[in-house]
């Protein structure tokens, strides 16, 4: 009876399976293990972050461990794979060695791996949502002596696959305020989702919602927007976007998608790989990510809540048009947004144009 009452209480706050994913996400962000259930089952714990050497040794002594990684990371390590794999560990690795296996450009040792099941794939997906490296220590809860597995948060693998849509559906407007800018009035609209994320919209001037609205999707970039980094064009694009939408009225969505969805820590790891000679695309995939991990369902929901369903998109990236359209927004056209090319970001912009299909005509003129 007590368990039924608890189940009912959880249902009041949303689907029970999605609440479990939210709790699992919090555990991963704290560096703690989570139990994933599918046709197979495993306990997974992020390699990077808050994991201490003591915790690692306790797991290692309790049951055999493997390192679950994406197919992208497997290829970087010289392992042929069509999906996630589990790398066999010798038991002699320390955390520094595991981080090397998870993030270094080159690893000078032969590795033995087997295909990973759906539980491991779900764990990797949740690690990406938690902005961890997509590399996890995994162990079979049915083998060895895993201490008190019943105390772990249990997440259904299929629920993880549905979580991004749940996150978009959970979005609501949290607060609004006038925000005076240089020479133009603006309205700041802050949203909140089921896990406390707060993407924001800046409505500049007086957008006309009876027709297509000029919209810029801007992924947060601390290094470019705030610190003025010259290795990307993000800060310059944000300034240009504000000026452009101020002319006719429009909307800038400021999205929590640092590093094309990798998160700040992983973007910084990618920078380190770029300093060693990789371009921006190869750096991301070497870490085990796709080149671009962004999902535009949240952006589409933000526009819908603002009453905007038809847009003229201010972008050089065709993937943004496709992503918004797939999420239910009518795309009426595209306007380019090309910032000045600088010596420090030419290599970055060239990779975006040649390898990711960005429309950067000015790159070839300068």
69 and 85 Cβ atoms separated by less than 8 Å: yes
Q: Give me the catalytic one of 125, 236, 292, 295.
A: 292
What Cα–Cα distance (Å) separates residue 14 from each residue in 7, 8, 86, 155, 298? Answer: 11, 10, 33, 15, 18
Q: Give me the catalytic one of 72, 294, 297, 352.
A: 294
Collect all residues with Cβ–Cβ distance below 8 Å to 364 and sequence separation of at least 6.
none
272 and 286 Cβ atoms separated by less than 8 Å: no
Is 292 noted as a catalytic residue in this protein? yes
Task: List the one residue out of 45, 64, 86, 88 whose CA is nearest residue 140.
Answer: 64
Q: In the chain, helix, strand, coil percent, each to 5?
A: 40, 20, 40
What Cα–Cα distance (Å) separates residue 88 from each residue in 98, 111, 113, 253, 357? Answer: 12, 7, 6, 43, 37
The residue written with tokens 């700041």 in the block is: 188
d(CA 2, CA 162): 28
- Alpha helix segments (H runs only) across the chain: 2-12, 16-29, 53-62, 71-76, 95-103, 118-129, 157-161, 163-169, 234-248, 258-261, 264-275, 280-286, 297-305, 318-326, 346-356, 361-365
Q: Write out the two tokens for 73.
A: 């990371």
d(CA 67, CA 128): 15
Q: Write out the two tokens for 269.
A: 């790891």
d(CA 290, CA 288): 7
Active site members:
292, 294
């Amino acid at each position: 009876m007590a368990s039924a009452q608890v189940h009912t209480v959880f249902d009041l706050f949303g689907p029970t399976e999605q609440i479990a994913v939210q709790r699992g996400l919090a555990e991963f962000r704290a560096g703690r293990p989570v139990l994933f259930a599918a046709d197979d089952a495993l306990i997974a714990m992020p390699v990077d972050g808050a994991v201490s050497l003591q915790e690692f040794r306790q797991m290692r002594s309790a049951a055999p461990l493997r390192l679950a990684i994406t197919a992208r990371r497997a290829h970087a390590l010289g392992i042929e794979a069509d999906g996630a794999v589990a790398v066999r560990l010798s038991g002699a690795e320390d955390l520094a060695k595991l981080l090397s296996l998870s993030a270094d450009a080159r690893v000078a040792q032969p590795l033995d791996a087997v295909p990973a099941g759906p539980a491991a794939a779900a764990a990797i997906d949740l690690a990406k949502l938690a902005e961890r490296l997509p590399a996890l220590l995994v162990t079979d809860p049915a083998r060895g002596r895993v201490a008190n597995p019943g105390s772990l948060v249990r997440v259904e693998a299929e629920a993880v696959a549905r979580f991004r849509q749940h996150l978009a559906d959970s979005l609501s407007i949290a607060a609004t305020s006038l925000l005076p800018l240089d020479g133009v009035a603006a309205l700041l609209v802050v949203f909140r989702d089921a896990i406390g994320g707060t993407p924001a919209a800046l409505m500049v001037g007086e957008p006309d919602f009876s027709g297509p609205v000029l919209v810029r999707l801007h992924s947060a970039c601390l290094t470019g927007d705030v610190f003025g980094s010259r290795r990307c064009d993000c800060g310059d694009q944000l300034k240009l976007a504000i000026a452009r939408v101020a002319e006719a009225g429009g909307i800038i969505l400021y999205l929590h998608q640092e590093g094309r969805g990798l998160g700040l820590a992983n973007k910084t790891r990618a920078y380190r790989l770029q300093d060693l000679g990789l371009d921006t695309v190869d750096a991301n995939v070497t870490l085990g990510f796709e080149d671009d991990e962004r999902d535009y369902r949240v952006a589409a929901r933000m526009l819908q809540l603002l009453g905007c369903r038809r847009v003229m998109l201010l972008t050089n990236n065709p993937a943004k048009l496709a992503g918004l359209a797939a999420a239910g927004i009518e795309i009426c056209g595209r306007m380019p947004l090309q910032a000045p090319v600088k010596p420090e970001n030419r290599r970055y912009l060239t990779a975006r144009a040649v390898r990711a299909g960005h429309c950067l005509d000015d790159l070839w003129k300068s």
